[in-house]
Amino acid sequence: MKSHEFASLLCSRLCHDLLSPVGALNNGIELLSDEHDPEMRARCLDLLGESARASANKLKFFRLAFGAAGGFGDEVDTREARVAIEGLFGGDGRIQLGWMVDEPTMGKAALKVLLNLVLLAGDALVRGGRLDIGAEKNAGGLDMVVRAEGPRIVLDPELKKVLLGETGEDGLAPRAAAAWLAHCLVADGRGEIQVADQEEGVLLIGATIPA
């Protein structure tokens, strides 16, 4: 896929994800301008604050997962990834998070892989649940795994095919941006992605990236 095509795909995905919180901000401002009751105005301000935080958290995550965040060095502090994940998925209590990454830093490409796998697994938890994230360096490279567990898990079969490299790049939908980027980064590093979703209520996505 050409760079401009992926940029278009990614922009569509970002616009889709940001439409809800930004739209809520717009609606809240309109309500606030017409509301004179102090209690209702306070409620509108609370909703505006929630929407603003949601927008900021999404932007922070997307900047690290898709953009050039993390400074100018080759390694990124993994605490940045943890903060971004907690901001995106841990704010409303719908998803419980487990962080099992002891490495203080990680290469930018590897960190993007991890974040995009987290995004896919988190989106699959349509009714909430638990999301555990682990990564460990070894002599052969880096192993990472994301485990999602919940009452209902939905991983689009097309996203799974894109993630595993079992489909072509033509006609990809915007929702496949994260899967395509993770696949490309792992493939560029001569690594491998594995998906296990046979057990009901459990989804495992792992990636191995050689040193």
Say if domain 3-210 classifies as CATH 3.30.565.10.
Answer: yes
pLDDT single digits (tens) 125-151: 999 999 999 999 999 899 999 999 999
- The 3-state DSSP class for residue 170 equals coil
| pLDDT-wise least confident of 3-17, 41-55, 157-171, 186-200 | 3-17
Q: Average pLDDT, stretch 41-59?
A: 89
Tokens found for residue 105: 């830093």
What are the sequence ranges of the domains in the chain?
A: 3-210
Give one DSSP letter per residue of 4-20, joined into a string: HHHHHHHHHHHHHHHHH
pLDDT single digits (tens) 60-96: 999 999 987 665 668 999 999 999 999 999 878 899 9
- What pLDDT is attached to residue 72? 60
Q: How would residue 3 be classed by pLDDT, with cut points 50, 70 and 90?
A: low
